[in-house]
Chain A
C-alpha cells in the first residue's frame, strides 16, 4: 500500500511539473536569484526586496520599459553554489525571450556561471562583487562587475588608510590584516592587497574565517596578539556581526576596522549594539537614506500594498543597493531597446545595452538617483564602469559618511586585470575581442 501511495504521489508531482504556464507576449523576463533563508539571509533579504520593489515600480509607474512589462521570478539559492546553478538553469529560458540578465549575488555562483552564461548568451551582472578580472570585457564579454570590483575596493580601502595615517609614505611598516570569508568572495582582494603591500611597504596578513563565520575566536586571538594597525573585514551574513562582537571582546578598536561594501549595512552592526559604534565600512557609492526615487516607490508600490519590505527598512544600505542593481539592469534593457526595438529582447541584445550603458548626471537625476550614484559609463574594455567609493562610520544609530570620494587607482589594478584575464582566456581558449572595433 505504501508503495502504491508513493507512486501515486510521484505521478501527481510529475503532472504538476509538466504543466508549464503559457507565457505572455510583450514581457521581458528577469530572474532574481535571492536568498531569504540560511546564514546569509540577514543580508540577502533587504537586497532582494530592493530589487523586486524597483522592478515593481517600473511596472506600476511606467507600465514597464517602453510598454514592455517586466516579468520577475525569484528563486531561492541559499547562497549555495549548486542551488544557484539549478536556479539559473530553471529560470534562464523563461518568458518570451529568456532571461534578460542574471544577478547571482554570490561570488561563488558567479564563478560557476561564468562559462555557462557565455554559452547561453545571457549577461551576468555582478555589481560590486564577482570576479575582478572580468572588468576586462574583451575576454569576459558577458560579465559585468558594475560600479566596482574587489580590487577597486581594496585600493580604495588602502587609500583611506593612507589618508588617516597621513600619507602613503606613512604606510611603511604598518600592519594591515584582512579578515576574510574563506571562499572566492573573500579571497578575491588578496592578490591586489599583496601588490599594494609591496608597493607601499606595509605588512599584510590574510586571516581566513570558515563559512558561515559564527566561529571567530581563534582569528581574533591572533589579531589580539599581532595588534595590526588596521583590520579589513571581507565578510557577509552572520560573519560581519560576529566580527564586530569579537573585536569588542578582545578590545580591538572598532575605528580601526574597515569593512568592504558588503560588510557595511545595518544588519552587520545592529546585533553588536553599542559595541559597534565607530566601525567603518566602504560604500559602493551610495549609502543609506532616502532619495527622490524612494518617494516614487512609496507612492506607487507601498501605497498599493505591493512592497516586499517592512516600510521602516526602505532606504537601508542593502535595500538601496538592490534598487541600484535593478535600475542598472532596467536602463541596460532601455538602451538595448534603442537599437533593437521596443519589444522583449534576448540576453545577447541586452548585453549590447549593458556594454553601451551611459548614465549621465542628468539621467540619474531624472531617475531619482541623484546623490546616490556618480555617472556610469560602460565600454567594451571597461565592464566596471565606475570605481568610486566613500567611507562611512556607524555611530551607534546610523551610518555617517566620513570621507570624500576616492577613485580606485587604475594604474594599480589594471596590470593585474590584464594578467589574470589573459590567463583565463588561455585556459578556456577564448579569443579576446578587439575593443576598438566594437560599437
Chain B
C-alpha cells in the first residue's frame, strides 16, 4: 500500500536510469541521511540520551561507519567481482601506515645517488586519500595472481599479502618513524583549518567519507565497470567471449576495492584509534570484514552496512544485556554466552538465508509492494 510504484511514470531515460528509481526509496534514503547528518548531531547537542554520551558515538557509531566503508570495499572485490580476498586487513594497514607516513613527512635518503626524497608533512585529508591510493597500487600488485588462479587458491594468495604486510609494519621501523614500542600516534586532525576533535566532529567526518564513497560505489557497480565485474564473477569464460578483458576488469576491481579499504584503514587509525599497532589490522580484521560481507549479502552496498552492524554491534549488545538487566553473571560467563549466542545466530541466519541480509531486505521489499493483496 505504502510501498507501491503504481502511478510513478518515467518519462525520460534519465529518470529510468536514476540511482533510486522508486520514489519511496528516495524518501526513505533522504530521511535516513537527514537523521544521520542533522538528527544525530542535534540529539547529541541537546544531550538527549543515549546520544549525549560519548559512548554511542565513539564506541558504536564511529567503528560502525568505518568498518561499513571497509566492507563496501571488500564487497566490490568479493561480492561484485567474485575474487575472494583474505588480505583486507593488510590493505587497511597499508592505507593507515602510508597515510601516517605522508601525514608526518617522508624522508628517504638515497646515499648511493647522493640525493634524498623528502616530502613535507601533508594535510590530513590529502594523506588519507593518498593512503588509499597507495593501498590501490598494492592491491593491483597483489591482484595480478588473480589472472591465473581462482577461488580458494586466490584466497591463499591474498593471505600471503596479509602476512607479508603484517610482517613489514612490525619489522621495518621506518614505517613507524622508529617508535620504540612499534605503536604510532596519528597526527592531529585538521581539515582546512578546522580541528576535528570531539566525538561528534569525528562522527560527521566519517559520515561524509562513508556517504561519498557509498554513492560512488553504488554508481560504479551499476555502470559499465560494475557490469564487467559481475560478468567476470558469474562466468569468467563467457565474459571473455563477449569481449570483457579479464585483466582490466579484475585489476580495476582490486584497485577500487583496495582504495576504499585503504581509506577506511586510514580513518580507522586516525579517527577511531588515534594510536595503533599492526595488531589492529591482523588476519582477524580481514576475516571480520569478510564475514560482514557474507552475512550482509554478497554484491550489495546496503548489505555492507547491515553486515557491519550485525558483526560489530550485536556482540556488544549481547555482552551488555545481562549487566543492564541486573543479572549477576561473571564477565567470563557473559563473554562465553556472547560467543555461543552470536555463533548460533550466524549459523541460523546462513541456513535460513544463505544470501545474507541483503536478500532478506529485497524479499521484504517484494512483499511490501504487494501488501496487503498478495497473489
Binary contact readout A414-430 vs B (1 if CB under 8 angstroms, 0 otherwise): 00000010001001110
> Besides A108-B183, A183-B277, 14 other CB < 8 A contacts?
A3-B360, A13-B321, A17-B317, A17-B321, A18-B50, A37-B335, A81-B279, A85-B273, A93-B53, A111-B277, A188-B181, A191-B180, A427-B185, A428-B185
Binary contact readout B318-344 vs A (1 if CB under 8 angstroms, 0 otherwise): 011101111000111011100000000
User: What is the CB-to-nearest-CB distance from A244 to chain B, in angstroms, rounded to a whole number?
Assistant: 24
Contacts of B330 in A (CB 8 A): 36, 74
Query: With A and B bound together, what is the CA distance between A74 and B188 in angstroms?
Result: 32
Cβ contact of B331, chosen from A16, A36, A188, A190, cutoff 8 A: A36
Contacts of A115 in B (CB 8 A): 185, 274-275
Contacts of B275 in A (CB 8 A): 111-112, 114-115
A184 at the interface (CB under 8 A from B): yes
Residue of A nearest to B277 (CB): A184
Cβ contact of B188, chosen from A92, A114, A424, A429, cutoff 8 A: A429
B40 at the interface (CB under 8 A from A): no
Is there contact, CB below 8 Å, between B181 and A76?
no
Cβ contact of A86, chosen from B185, B279, B316, cutoff 8 A: B316
Is there contact, CB below 8 Å, between B280 and A89?
no
Residues 164-183 of B at the A interface (beta carbon under 8 Å): 170, 180-183
Query: With A and B bound together, what is the CA distance between A190 and B353 in angstroms?
Result: 51
Query: With A and B bound together, what is the CA distance between A245 and B54 in angstroms?
Result: 46
Is there contact, CB below 8 Å, between A108 and B277?
yes
Binary contact readout A385-428 vs B (1 if CB under 8 angstroms, 0 otherwise): 00000000000000000000000000000000000100010011
Contacts of A420 in B (CB 8 A): 180
Is there contact, CB below 8 Å, between A187 and B335?
no
Query: With A and B bound together, what is the CA distance between A428 and B197 in angstroms?
Result: 13
Is there contact, CB below 8 Å, between B334 and A93?
no
Cβ contact of A36, chosen from B53, B319, B332, cutoff 8 A: B332
Binary contact readout A197-218 vs B (1 if CB under 8 angstroms, 0 otherwise): 0000000000010010000000
B87 at the interface (CB under 8 A from A): no
Is there contact, CB below 8 Å, between A3 and B324?
no
A34 at the interface (CB under 8 A from B): yes
Contacts of A119 in B (CB 8 A): 197
Binary contact readout A326-352 vs B (1 if CB under 8 angstroms, 0 otherwise): 000000000000000000000000000
Residue of A nearest to B50 (CB): A18
A45, A85, A111, A187: which has the most chain B beta carbons within 10 Å? A111
User: What is the CB-to-nearest-CB distance from A406 to chain B, in angstroms, rounded to a whole number?
Assistant: 23
Is there contact, CB below 8 Å, between A90 and B324?
no
User: What is the CB-to-nearest-CB distance from B97 to chain A, in angstroms, rounded to a whole number?
Assistant: 16
Residue of B nearest to A78 (CB): B335
B303 at the interface (CB under 8 A from A): no
Residue of B nearest to A429 (CB): B188
Contacts of B3 in A (CB 8 A): none
B49 at the interface (CB under 8 A from A): yes
Chain B interface: which size bin? 35 or more
User: What is the CB-to-nearest-CB distance from B165 to chain A, in angstroms, rounded to a whole number?
Assistant: 14
B59 at the interface (CB under 8 A from A): yes
Residues 1-37 of A at the B interface (beta carbon under 8 Å): 2-3, 13, 16-21, 34, 36-37
B63 at the interface (CB under 8 A from A): yes
Contacts of A75 in B (CB 8 A): 331
Contacts of B334 in A (CB 8 A): 76
Q: Interface size on A (CB < 8 Å)?
A: 49
Binary contact readout B270-290 vs A (1 if CB under 8 angstroms, 0 otherwise): 000111110110000000000
B193 at the interface (CB under 8 A from A): no
Is there contact, CB below 8 Å, between B55 and A93?
yes
Query: Known contacts A76-B335, A82-B63, A86-B59; is A183 also within 8 Å of B180 by CB?
Result: no
Query: With A and B bound together, what is the CA distance between A13 and B279 in angstroms?
Result: 31
Binary contact readout A66-81 vs B (1 if CB under 8 angstroms, 0 otherwise): 0000000111101001
Contacts of A427 in B (CB 8 A): 104, 185, 187
Residues 25-75 of A at the B interface (beta carbon under 8 Å): 34, 36-37, 45, 73-75
18 A-B pairs within 8 Å (CB atoms) are namely: A2-B352, A3-B360, A16-B321, A17-B324, A36-B331, A74-B330, A74-B331, A89-B55, A90-B55, A90-B320, A93-B54, A107-B181, A108-B183, A187-B182, A188-B180, A190-B180, A427-B187, A429-B188
Cβ contact of B54, chosen from A89, A190, A428, cutoff 8 A: A89
User: What is the CB-to-nearest-CB distance from A235 to chain B, in angstroms, rounded to a whole number?
Assistant: 16
Query: Known contacts A81-B279, A93-B53; is A17 also within 8 Å of B320 by CB?
Result: yes
Contacts of B326 in A (CB 8 A): 21
User: What is the CB-to-nearest-CB distance from A206 to chain B, in angstroms, rounded to a whole number?
Assistant: 11
Is there contact, CB below 8 Å, between B324 and A16?
yes
Query: With A and B bound together, what is the CA distance between A353 and B170 in angstroms?
Result: 38
Contacts of A184 in B (CB 8 A): 181-183, 277
Residue of B nearest to A48 (CB): B331
Residue of B nearest to A108 (CB): B277
Residue of B nearest to A208 (CB): B170
Contacts of A208 in B (CB 8 A): 170
Residue of A nearest to B274 (CB): A115
Residues 119-159 of B at the A interface (beta carbon under 8 Å): none
Query: With A and B bound together, what is the CA distance between A112 and B151 in angstroms?
Result: 37
Query: With A and B bound together, what is the CA distance between A428 and B184 in angstroms?
Result: 11
Is there contact, CB below 8 Å, between A111 and B54?
no
Query: With A and B bound together, what is the CA distance between A92 and B58 in angstroms?
Result: 12
Residues 11-68 of B at the A interface (beta carbon under 8 Å): 49-50, 53-55, 58-59, 63
Query: With A and B bound together, what is the CA distance between A429 and B195 in angstroms?
Result: 13
A229 at the interface (CB under 8 A from B): no
Is there contact, CB below 8 Å, between A111 and B335?
no
Contacts of A37 in B (CB 8 A): 332, 335-336
Is there contact, CB below 8 Å, between B181 and A3?
no
Contacts of A135 in B (CB 8 A): none
Is there contact, CB below 8 Å, between B277 and A3?
no
Cβ contact of B319, chosen from A76, A107, A188, cutoff 8 A: A76
User: What is the CB-to-nearest-CB distance from A7 to chain B, in angstroms, rounded to a whole number?
Assistant: 10
Residue of A nearest to B316 (CB): A86
Query: With A and B bound together, what is the CA distance between A92 and B55 in angstroms?
Result: 9
Contacts of A74 in B (CB 8 A): 330-331
B364 at the interface (CB under 8 A from A): yes
Is there contact, CB below 8 Å, between B170 and A182?
yes
B59, B316, B326, B353: which has the most chain A beta carbons within 10 Å? B59
Cβ contact of B279, chosen from A45, A108, A428, cutoff 8 A: A108
User: What is the CB-to-nearest-CB distance from B80 to chain A, in angstroms, rounded to a whole number?
Assistant: 25
Query: With A and B bound together, what is the CA distance between A34 and B273 in angstroms?
Result: 20
